[in-house]
Amino acid sequence: MNLRILFLHGWQSRPGGVKPTFLQAQGHRVLNPALDDDDFDAALATARTALAAGGLDVVVGSSRGGALAMNLDTGGIPRVLLCPAWRLWGKADRVPPGSVILHSPRDEVIPFEDSRTLVAGSGLAPSALWAVGEDHRLADAASLEAMHRACLQVAAGETP
């Protein structure tokens, strides 16, 4: 299954990083806009414009990009969040059913406990939180594969 994915990068990251490039290498079409690092509302506007392009299957947000994804009205498009920095940016404190969150218990930037709190506060099953990775970046092979599996799963409507 080839997906059309909106990938929202983290703070001080740029389009074309390891994670969106990995998804492209799996045969997916990845929209990966440059997001403003200094102005959350400007970054959110860019994400909304990309979302409006339509035809998306999944929204993936990494760290600050996860906070952006949480603050987007995706119109039912499922989300995969990677170490979402929701306590630092935006106002959203919940995600809808069908969302999957990947987070490293050894994350040195965003506490793993933040994702546990997000899952519980959103009423998601504990299985919606996948403990993966060696650090905040989630750029190791196992984390990249888990991100890919999560995208396929949520796009297929499979609830974690």
Distance (Å, whole) CA 113 – CA 129: 11
pTM above 0.85, yes or no: yes
What is the pLDDT, as a whole number, of residue 1? 76
Contact, 8 vs 47, CB < 8 A? yes
What is the pLDDT, as a whole number, of residue 34? 95
Which is higher by pLDDT, 77 or 1? 77
What pLDDT digit, counting tens, does each position of 1-52 carry? 799 999 999 887 777 799 999 999 999 999 999 999 999 999 999 999 999 9
Strand order in the sheet with 29-31: 29-31, 4-8, 58-62, 79-82, 100-103, 129-131
What is the pLDDT, as a whole number, of residue 118? 98
User: CA neighbours within 13 Å on the CB side: how many for 47?
Assistant: 30
Distance (Å, whole) CA 155 – CA 80: 10
Give the confidence band of 84 by pLDDT, cuts at 50, 70, 90. Answer: very high
Q: What is the mean pLDDT of the chain?
A: 95
Q: Which fold has domain 4-155?
A: Rossmann fold (3.40.50)
